[in-house]
Structure 1
Amino acid sequence: MAQRVSLKSFLATARKALTAPPSQRPNPLTFVVGNESADLDSICSAVLYAYFRTHAPSSQSVLHIPLSNLPRADLALRAELNAIFPPSFNSVTPDDLITLSDLPSPSDLPPSATKWYLVDHNVLTGDLTKRGYDKSVVGCVDHHDDEGTIPSHAQPRVFAKCGSCMSLVLSQCQPIWDQLQSHQEIDEELARVAMAPILIDTVKLTSKDKTTDWDVNAAAYAEEKLVAALSVARSNRQRYDREKYFDHLSELKDSILHLSYRDILRKDYKKWTDGSLNLGVSTIVQGFETCLAEVGDKQTFLAALKDWAKEQQLDIAAVMTVSKPGGVFTRELLVWGLGGQDAVKVARRFAEKNGGSLGLEKWNNGELDGEEGGEWRACWRQMDVGSSRKQVAPMLREVMKESARL
Structure 2
Amino acid sequence: MPARASLSAFLATARSALAASASKKQTLTFVVGNESADLDSLCSALLFAYLRTYGSPQTLHIPLCHLPRDDLTLRPEFTEVLRRAATSPDDVITLDDLPELDATNTQWLLVDHNCLTGHLELFNKQVVGCVDHHTDEGKVPQESEVRLIEKSGSCMSLVVTHCREAWEKLKDADKATEIDAQLAHLAVGPILIDTQKLGDKNKTTSFDEDAVQYLETKLPSATGYDRTNFFSDVAKLKGDISPLSMRDILRKDYKEWDDSGVKLGTSSVPAHFGYLTEKAGSSDALLDGIKRWGTEKDLDLVTVLTAFTNEASFHRELLLFARTEKGVATAKAFEKDYTEKLQLSPWSSGKLDLDEQSQWLRCWTQGRVENSRKQVAPMLREAMKAKI
Instruction: Name 1:126's counterpart in structure 2.
Output: 118
Equivalent residues of 1:162, 1:214 under 8 A apart = yes
Instruction: Name 2:348's counterpart in structure 1.
Output: 364
Equivalent residues of 1:67, 1:99 under 8 A apart = yes
Q: Paired residues, what number?
A: 385
Structure 2 segments unaligned to the other structure (5+ residues): none
Instruction: Name 1:332's counterpart in structure 2.
Output: 317
Instruction: Name 1:95's counterpart in structure 2.
Output: 90
Equivalent residues of 1:257, 1:291 under 8 A apart = no
| 1:155 maps to 2:152 | no
| 1:164 maps to 2:133 | no
| 1:355 maps to 2:339 | yes
Letter in 1 for 2:19: T
- Alpha-carbon deviation of 1:385? 0.4
Instruction: Name 1:52's counterpart in structure 2.
Output: 51
Give distance in 2, aligned partners of 1:356 and 1:21: 53
3-state secondary structure, aligned to 1:318: strand
Q: How does 1:44-123 map to 2 (within 5 A)?
A: 44-57=43-56, 60-86=57-83, 91-105=86-100, 109-123=101-115
- Alpha-carbon deviation of 1:22? 2.7
Instruction: Name 1:14's counterpart in structure 2.
Output: 14
Letter in 2 for 1:388: S
- Alpha-carbon deviation of 1:2? 7.6
Equivalent residues of 1:118, 1:139 under 8 A apart = yes
Instruction: Name 1:393's counterpart in structure 2.
Output: 377
Letter in 2 for 1:114: T
Letter in 1 for 2:145: Q
Letter in 2 for 1:83: E
Give distance in 1, aligned partners of 2:55 and 2:176: 16
Instruction: Name 2:36's counterpart in structure 1.
Output: 37
3-state secondary structure, aligned to 1:319: strand
Equivalent residues of 1:271, 1:280 under 8 A apart = yes
Percent pairwise identity: 48
Letter in 2 for 1:14: A
Residues 402 and 373 of structure 1, relative CA distance in 2, 3 Å threshold: closer
- Alpha-carbon deviation of 1:24? 4.1
Letter in 2 for 1:63: L
3-state secondary structure, aligned to 1:148: coil
- Alpha-carbon deviation of 1:295? 4.1
| 1:316 maps to 2:301 | yes
Give distance in 1, aligned partners of 2:149 and 2:209: 17
Letter in 2 for 1:66: P
TM-score, normalised to structure 1, is: 0.92
Instruction: Name 2:208's counterpart in structure 1.
Output: 215
Structure 1 segments unaligned to the other structure (5+ residues): none
Give distance in 1, aligned partners of 2:293 and 2:190: 27
Letter in 1 for 2:204: T
- Alpha-carbon deviation of 1:82? 2.6
Equivalent residues of 2:129, 2:147 under 8 A apart = yes
Give distance in 2, aligned partners of 1:137 and 1:242: 35
Give distance in 2, aligned partners of 1:15 and 1:302: 42
- Alpha-carbon deviation of 1:175? 1.3
- Alpha-carbon deviation of 1:299? 1.9
- Alpha-carbon deviation of 1:3? 2.4
Give distance in 2, aligned partners of 1:374 and 1:137: 38
Q: How does 1:175-190 map to 2 (within 5 A)?
A: 175-181=165-171, 183-190=176-183
3-state secondary structure, aligned to 2:4: coil
Give distance in 1, aligned partners of 2:386 and 2:197: 38
Instruction: Name 1:249's counterpart in structure 2.
Output: 234
Deviations 1:189-214 (A, max 9, x none): 10011001100111111111011111
Give distance in 1, aligned partners of 2:21 and 2:170: 31
3-state secondary structure, aligned to 1:330: strand
Instruction: Name 1:302's counterpart in structure 2.
Output: 287
Give distance in 1, aligned partners of 2:28 and 2:217: 33
Instruction: Name 1:374's counterpart in structure 2.
Output: 358
Letter in 2 for 1:49: F
Letter in 2 for 1:15: R
Instruction: Name 2:268's counterpart in structure 1.
Output: 283
Give distance in 2, aligned partners of 1:96 and 1:313: 33
- Alpha-carbon deviation of 1:300? 2.0
Give distance in 2, aligned partners of 1:215 and 1:251: 21
3-state secondary structure, aligned to 1:225: coil
Equivalent residues of 1:331, 1:382 under 8 A apart = yes
Letter in 2 for 1:126: G
Q: How large is the Cα RMSD of the aligned pairs? A: 1.6
Deviations 1:330-371 (A, max 9, x none): 10000011122x221110111111000101010001111112
3-state secondary structure, aligned to 1:141: strand
Deviations 1:156-199 (A, max 9, x none): 01110010000110011111211112623211110011001100
Letter in 1 for 2:157: S
Letter in 1 for 2:115: V
Deviations 1:280-310 (A, max 9, x none): 1100001010121134322222111111111
